Amino acid sequence: MVRAAPAISCRGLVKRYKDVVAVAGLDLEVRSGECFGLLGPNGAGKTTTVEMWEGLLAPDEGTVEVLGMSWAERDHELRERIGVQLQETQLAEKLSVTEVVTLFRSFYRRGHEVDEVLELVQLGEKRKSWVGKLSGGQRQRLAVACALVADPDILFLDEPTTGLDPQSRRQLWDVVAGFRAKGGTIVLTTHYMDEAERLCDRVAVVDHGKVISLGSPKDLIASLGAQHVIEFALGEGIAPPPDEALLALPGIREVRTVAGRTSLTVEEVHSSLPALLAELERRGLGMSELLTHHATLEDLFLHLTGRHLRDG
């Protein structure tokens, strides 16, 4: 099988801000036509990485190639072929949806019709509304429309659903999935593991500017060696049983306690759970909370770093 040239590749990427190392030597490849996720807590270096890929930041060390070209040599040509949504952009409040997208369309030699893109992101009915009157979800879709209007080869989305309600998130996911289905390449940063699992073909888990795990969401979760997670909390100030005692119970592969919540990675819930309950009973400990779920990228992150994604 002949593998297509990568959409993006970077080698030894380093970026420092004064005394903070934001990106500490990154080697990654984004394949053409895939949805690639950078997953990590706030401050992990996701945005810095993506902005170097977008040619907005110059790396201190290392190289970036996008579509086989380097930013230093082919800046303008590359800009014609990527669509970008940035995390903090606030579009002009007093322009209408159509006016904003028309403005962005005018920068590109080729691309979609404005109305076409607005239909794509389901903003057709809002085309005459001022940006200031849009909801958070609508604004994010407008930002994505500004990125899509170039009909780009690569779409960069930096935390596109942060702060959105579930319905708005799903609407945005549909837009991303639609672009992916037509063969577009997507780079997505997120600190939502469900978003990464749902959208991404491959995920790089990033922490402190380094990749700590890379693969498809399924493979990464499988690498935990167990499919399920039991989480429990005892009453306030009560210590859980020691890890050795819990690991001695049947089917328990890993124990992590963070901020009073203990999470157990287990092979089968139905054999481990009764044993856990019996053990707590024997020690006279009462539970204040208990839940079980399929293992997720969140659990992987906890496994790798001992911290939760959302804690940052």
99 lies in the binding site for another protein (CB under 8 A) = yes
86 lies in the binding site for another protein (CB under 8 A) = yes
Question: Which residue in 55, 70, 58 sits closest to 22, CA to CA?
Answer: 58
76 lies in the binding site for another protein (CB under 8 A) = yes
Number of other residues whose CB lies within 10 A of the CB of residue 234 = 19
Question: Which one among 3, 19, 90, 236 touches another protein, defined by CB under 8 A?
Answer: 90
88 lies in the binding site for another protein (CB under 8 A) = yes
60 lies in the binding site for another protein (CB under 8 A) = no
> What ranges make up the beta strands (E) of the chain?
8-17, 20-30, 35-39, 61-66, 82-85, 154-158, 185-190, 202-207, 210-215, 228-234, 252-258, 261-266, 287-294
Q: How far is the CB of 75 from another protein (least distance, A)?
A: 9
From residue 208 to residue 247, the character string flagging contacts with another protein as x (rule: CB under 8 A) and all else as - is ----------------------------------------
Closer to another protein by Cβ: residue 29 or 99: 99
- Tokens 């952009």 sit on residue: 89
From residue 151 to residue 190, the character string flagging contacts with another protein as x (rule: CB under 8 A) and all else as - is ----------------------------------------
Question: Which one among 13, 37, 47, 54 touches another protein, defined by CB under 8 A?
Answer: 54
Question: Kind of pairing, strands 82-85 and 210-215?
Answer: unpaired
Q: How far is the CB of 104 from another protein (least distance, A)?
A: 6
CA distances for 111 relative to 11, 16, 39, 147, 153, angstroms: 31, 36, 30, 10, 11
Structure tokens at 95: 């322009």
